[in-house]
Amino acid sequence: MKKINFMVTAFRDGFQSVYGGRVFMKDYLPALEAVRDAGIMHIESGGGAMFQSPFFYTGENSFANMELFRKTMGADANLQTLARGVNVVGLDSQSSDIIALHARLFKKYGVSTIRNFDALNDVNNLIYSGKCIKEAGLRHEVAITMMSLAPGWDKDNKVHNPEFYASVLRGIINAGIDFDSVCFKDASGTSTPYTVYKTVGLARKILAPEVNITFHTHDTAGTSVACYLAAVRAGANTVDLSLSPVSGGTGSPDVITMWHTLRGSDFSLDVDIEKVIKAEEVFKECMKDYFLPPEATSVDPRIPFAPMPGGALTANTQMMRDAGILDRYEEVFKNMGECVRRGGFGTSVTPVSQFYFQQAFNNTMIGPWKRFAEGYGKMVLGYFGKTPMPPDKEIVKMAGEQLGLPPTARPVLELNDADPKKGRQAAEAGLRAARLPVTDENVFICAACGEKGIMFLLGQSAVSVRKKSDSETASAETGPASAQTLEVTLDGSKFKVRLENGAAFVNGKSYKVTVRPEAAGAALQAPAPAPAQAALAAPAAPPAPRPEAAPAPRQEADAENDVRYVTSPFPGMVFRTLTKSGEKVEEGQVVFILEAMKMESEIITRKSGVITVRAQQGDQVQTGQILAEIS
């Protein structure tokens, strides 16, 4: 009987695929100890989105978390992290010095193995990053990314088939990339069992018998276990498995599920199943207060037609839920396929999956191709490497015009090393400007997290973790709570405010309120919106009703009023305000940075005058909502 090895992905990929990475380490530490006590010693401990998430959402330092993870698991555990080639652990690509620093720091903070992939399967993006991993003394698991394409997308069947993946593997070998193992990574869970079987079979013929082959997938489309059976029968040695409550659905299959699947076959998992069951009980208890989005636990058979990895799916639906626009998700979902088809067929895994979703979001909320998401536009123009197929020429032309960038075939590292805004020198300058210590750790935080990294180091970052609200708990325990919905008009924008159990739910945020009767009806007394740092609580589930977007008030006969107001072009969060009330502004001046779906967009004035700011940092705003008035 052949024993199949496995890595537990619950504490990295699982958290990202279910909770968007917004999890406090202190909450899950008992579960990590229980997994260790169950004898599971190969664990995905960080990297990927779980590097940025603590800085962005939980107010924790990822390096401190990595250190505690190693201390908890002990010296013998194989702790593995995820890297995105030249993007390392961010959405943007990095320069050579930051890529090398990533490997050295992750080694310093207890990592054993780094799985390294490029979403475009551009081998050039794996050469230097792989070299740095090995030189740091780490095991290098090189990864090839997979997904299926919907019928008719690739009429010549040139990409995302077994022969294509085998050619990428040969390219890795021919490039002289030093690796210890190979992973075939299907983050969207869309590959067919047949494709997996043929791909792993071809790889087994290419690689030496002793080389470990890992297969990774999710249950988003409902075929994960079938794909794992196909992989092990074709010669894979290792599979990635998760633990409840972050298994199945958008997560990877559960350890217990795979153990049961292999019973009576020629394969088995080397695991004490009773101890695993006990560990899952501890894990569920640890996570019982976290809001579990329903889409994270379900299978969506349509995913092959809009391939989206679990980590992107729930992260994005949660952001839409926060903004009160989850009802638009179906439209975004339908538009995503076109973005994949016309974008060159990069694999839908971070960062490319986020580029696809961001562009589909813009196409839905603003209009088809009226605004290019920076990541998507730069991808089709070549700034992240070579896409598997040439992108649509019309898309390339429009992206270049909107972003003001020419198409390029220059290597990504060459571009980034020549970019004065990237690299160690730029990060150090940012730290000095903020009067922060210049250390390797701070340099990397600044490079990987940008301005949000600086905000964290200054103690100015927001904490945003989605836990169940008191009202949800009451509703779950005692049945539906009495609720009242009011329409509130503020500065010309209309909002539906749901009052429930002493709280008001607006735009996915809850606020404590007092409601008292008056002669003319009920008056709502609420404190001013809390700053972003205070908005800890998760949005309610169900979410707050979507506010009705109202255009800026104007008089048809008065053209001056058309430009008097600065309004939000789409739902999002005010990431930064760049002016104060009473200041003089000029036409075309950037006055706000709005963040939506991990994109930062500049909001400008359309006239000169004195500004009155009506939205502050951390505010969640809707389409048409007034952000400022110019007089």
Q: Taking the mean position of all CA atoms in its chain, how far away is CA 389?
A: 24
What is the average pLDDT score of the chain? 87
Query: Given this model, what pLDDT does residue 279 score?
Result: 98
Lowest mean pLDDT among 60-74, 138-152, 153-167, 607-621: 607-621
Please choose, from the candidates 405, 400, 342, the residue with its C-alpha nearest in 3D space to the C-alpha of residue 368.
342
Q: Give the percent of the chain with pLDDT over 70.
A: 84
Distance between CA atoms of residues 606 and 586, nearest Å = 8
Query: Given this model, what pLDDT does residue 496 score?
Result: 54
Please compute the mean of the pLDDT values over residues 387-397 and round it to a whole number.
Answer: 98
Distance between CA atoms of residues 226 and 223, nearest Å = 5
The DSSP letter of residue 437 is -
Express each pLDDT in 534-592 by its tens digit. 222 233 333 333 333 333 333 233 344 557 899 887 777 788 899 999 999 999 899 99
Distance between CA atoms of residues 61 and 539, nearest Å = 24
Q: Which residue would you say has higher pLDDT here, 459 or 474?
A: 459
pLDDT surpassing 80 at residue 433: yes
Please choose, from the candidates 148, 152, 241, 125, the residue with its C-alpha nearest in 3D space to the C-alpha of residue 198.
148
Distance between CA atoms of residues 174 and 151, nearest Å = 32
Query: Given this model, what pLDDT does residue 324 score?
Result: 79
Express each pLDDT in 508-518 by its tens digit. 444 556 555 44
Give the burial class of 70: count Cβ atoms within 10 A of its Cβ; 0-12 exposed, 13-18 middle, 19 or more buried. Answer: middle
DSSP codes, 301-342: TTGGGS---HHHHHHHHHHHHHTT-GGGHHHHHHHHHHHHHH
Query: Given this model, what pLDDT does residue 493 score?
Result: 55
Distance between CA atoms of residues 456 and 477, nearest Å = 37
pLDDT surpassing 90 at residue 80: yes
Beta bridge partners of 359: none
pLDDT surpassing 90 at residue 253: yes
Express each pLDDT in 169-192 by its tens digit. 999 999 999 999 999 999 999 999
Please compute the mean of the pLDDT values over residues 149-160 and round it to a whole number.
Answer: 93
- Give the Å distances, CA to CA, from 242 to 10, 68, 239, 410, 519: 5, 21, 10, 39, 57
pLDDT surpassing 80 at residue 467: yes
pLDDT surpassing 80 at residue 143: yes
Distance between CA atoms of residues 162 and 198, nearest Å = 6
Q: Is the pTM of this model over 0.85?
A: no
| Confidence at 505, pLDDT banded by 50, 70, 90 | low
pLDDT surpassing 80 at residue 472: no
215 φ, ψ (degrees, to nearest 5): -120, 135
| Confidence at 323, pLDDT banded by 50, 70, 90 | confident
Query: Given this model, what pLDDT does residue 533 score?
Result: 28
> In angstroms, what is the C-alpha Rg of the chain?
25
pLDDT surpassing 60 at residue 198: yes
Query: Given this model, what pLDDT does residue 536 score?
Result: 25
Lowest mean pLDDT among 241-245, 338-342, 606-610: 606-610
Helix-strand-coil percent breakdown of the chain, rounded to 5?
40, 20, 40
Please compute the mean of the pLDDT values over residues 373-398 and round it to a whole number.
Answer: 97
Q: Which residue would you say has higher pLDDT here, 116 or 555?
A: 116
Query: Given this model, what pLDDT does residue 535 score?
Result: 26
